[in-house]
Amino acid sequence: MFFLIGLGLGDAKDVTVKGLEIIKKCSRVYLEAYTSVLTVGKEALEEFYGRELIIADRDCVEQDADSILSEAANEDVALLVVGDPFGATTHTDLVLRAKQKAIPYQIVHNASIMNAVGCCGLQLYCFGETVSIPYWTDTWQPDSFYHKIKSNRIRGLHTLCLLDIKVKEPTLESMTKKKKEYMPPRFMSVNEASQQLITIIENERKHLKPEFMQKSPLAYTENTLCVGLARVGSPLQKIFVATLKEMSETDLGAPLHSLIICGEIQPLEEEYLEQFLSGSCSSSSFKDHAGTSACLF
C-alpha cells in the first residue's frame, strides 16, 4: 500500500499516533522536502520515528513518482508530507497515479497552515481564496494574485498569502548542463512579500486614472491591516499585526512565514487581534484599519 502521511507544522512529535504506527511498519519511508519544511531536520525525525528516512526532493516526487508507486505495489511505502497531504497539488497527482495503477493508498491527515492560521484569531469561515506569492526576478514579476485579493476584499473576506520557498532549485546557468547546480535554500519572509505587494499597488496607481479611483479602488493600500505569522505550530510561533507598510519593515525571524491581508474584521476577531498589535495600529488607531467596510480600500 502507498501511504501519504501528514506531519503537522511543528516538530517530530506532531505526527499522529496512526501516522507513527504506519511509519514504523513500512518497508520504505520517504520525506518530501520541497513544498514545506518543519522546524527540525531529518535527523530529529529519524530519532523520534526510530527509522531511516529517504529524502524526496522535487525531481524525485514529480519526475520519479512512478518508481515510488511501483515499490508500493509489492510493499508498504510511505511519503511523509509537512502539514496535510492535500496541501499541495503534487500530492493530489500522486493519489491519481496510484488509482490509475490500481495501487491501494491511504491518507493520514494532519494540521496545515490552512486551518492553523486561525491561531491569530481571524475566523476561518471569514477567509476567501488563498493566494501564493512567488519570488520575483528581474525578468519575471507576476501579480495575477492581486485580483484574487481584490475579490476577497470586496466581499469583506481575509486573504491568506502563502509565501514562496526555494529548496534545491537549480540555477538558471546549470539548466542546460548535464550536472545541475543548486541555489541556496530561500524562504520568503513577510517583509519581502509586503514589499512586493506595495510595488504592485504602486504600479496599479500609475495605470489607474484618478477619476476612476472611486469606481475601481485599489484592492488594498499601505495602511491596510495585515497579520504576519512565523513558525506556526512551534514553540517559537510569532504573530504580528500591523499595516502593510509596517509589515514591509518587520523582521519576524526564521521561516516559515505566512501573511494575511485582512478584510472586514468582526468584534470578536478585533478583540483577539489586539494582543498582537504593534506600531501605528496600537490603541484607538487600530479601529481606523479594522472593523468597518470603510477600511477595505
Annotated binding site: 9, 84, 87, 112-113, 163, 232, 257
**259: β partners:** 161, 228
Hey, what's the cell of 248? 514591509
Core vs surface per residue 183-217: b (16+ CB within 10 A) or e: eeeebbbbbbbbbbbbebbeebeeeeeeeeeeeeb
- Residue with C-alpha cell 519575471? 140
Do 34 and 169 form a contact (C-beta atoms < 8 A)? no
User: Under a CB-based contact definition with an 8 Å cutoff, are residues 27 and 75 in contact?
Assistant: yes
d(CA 229, CA 154): 24
Binding site, annotated residues for S-adenosyl-L-methionine: 9, 84, 87, 112-113, 163, 232, 257
Extract the C-alpha cell encoding 139: 525578468
Distance between CA atoms of residues 195 and 161, nearest Å: 13
Contact between residue 285 and residue 206 where contact means Cβ atoms under 8 Å apart: no
Task: Measure the CA–CA gap between 117 and 115, rounded to whole angstroms.
Answer: 5
**Alpha-carbon distance values, 256 to 110, 163, 253, 271, 276 (Å):** 17, 8, 9, 26, 18
Biggest CA pair distance of the chain: 67
